[in-house]
A = this chain, B = another copy of it.
Amino acid sequence: MSKELDAIMRPKSIAIVGATEREGSVGKEITQKLIKYGFKGDLYPVNPKSETIFSNKAYKSILDIPSNVDLAVIVIPSKLVPKVIDQCGEKGIKGVIIITAGFKEAGKDGAILEDEIVAKLKKYEIRAVGPNCLGVLNSEEDIKMNATFAEAIPMTGRTAFVSQSGALGAGFLNISKDVNVGISNFVSIGNKADINGEVLLDYWEDDKNVNLILLYLESILNPQNFRNLSSRISKKKPIIAVKSGRSSAGAKAASSHTGSLAGADLAADALLKQSGVIRANSMLEMFQMAQAFSNCSVPRGNRVAIMTNAGGPGIMATDALCEHGLEIADIQKETKYYLTSFLPEAASVNNPIDMIASAPVEHYKKTLKSLISDENVDIIISIYLPLMGLKPIDVAKAIMEIKEENPEKPILGVFMAEKEFFAELTHVDTNLPFYQYPEEAAFAISKLDYYRKWLAKPEGTKPNFKVDEEKAKSIIKNAVKKGRDQLTTLESIDVLDAYGVRTCKYAFANGVDEAVKKANKIGYPVVMKITSTKISHKTEVGGVIVGINSETELKEEYKGLIERLKERNLKDALDGVIIQEMVKGSREMVCGIATDPQYGPMMMFGLGGIYIETIKDVTFKINPLTDVDAKEMIESVKAYEILKGARGTKPAQMDQIQEIILRLSQLVSTFSFIDELDINPLKISEKTGEGIAVDGRIQVRMKEAKKALGIGSCGCGCKCSK
Contact = CB atoms under 8 A, between A and B. Distances in A.
Contacts of A346: 105-106
B282 A389 contact: no
A647 B537 contact: yes
A310 B641 contact: no
Interface stretch (A163-171, A666-674, A713-721): A163-171
Interface stretch (A448-456, A610-618, A654-662): A610-618
A693 B289 CA distance: 50
A313 B246 contact: no
A624 interface: no
A549 interface: yes
Interface in A309-326: 309-313, 315-316, 318-323
B174 A313 contact: no
Interface string A286-314: 00000000000000000000000111110
Contacts of A648: 537, 539-542
A130 interface: no
Interface residues of A, number: 88
Contacts of A437: 282-284
A282 B649 contact: no
A496 to B, nearest CB: 22
Interface stretch (A44-52, A361-369, A416-424, A481-489): A416-424
Interface in A205-259: 216, 218, 242, 244-248
Contacts of A541: 648
A607 interface: yes
Contact of A165 (B281, B284, B310, B426): B310
A453 B92 CA distance: 66
A174 B537 contact: no
A257 to B, nearest CB: 10
A168 B638 CA distance: 37
Contacts of A711: none
A709 interface: no
A345 to B, nearest CB: 9
Contacts of A704: none
B647 A174 contact: no
A105 B537 CA distance: 64
Given A174-B418, A248-B318, A587-B610, 19 more contacts: A105-B346, A106-B346, A171-B310, A171-B386, A174-B385, A174-B386, A178-B418, A244-B312, A247-B319, A423-B423, A537-B647, A540-B647, A542-B648, A610-B646, A611-B615, A611-B639, A614-B640, A614-B642, A614-B646
A175 interface: yes
Nearest to A171: B416
19 contacts: A152-B418, A167-B309, A167-B357, A168-B416, A171-B386, A174-B417, A175-B418, A244-B315, A246-B322, A540-B647, A549-B549, A586-B610, A587-B610, A607-B611, A610-B642, A610-B646, A610-B647, A614-B638, A615-B615
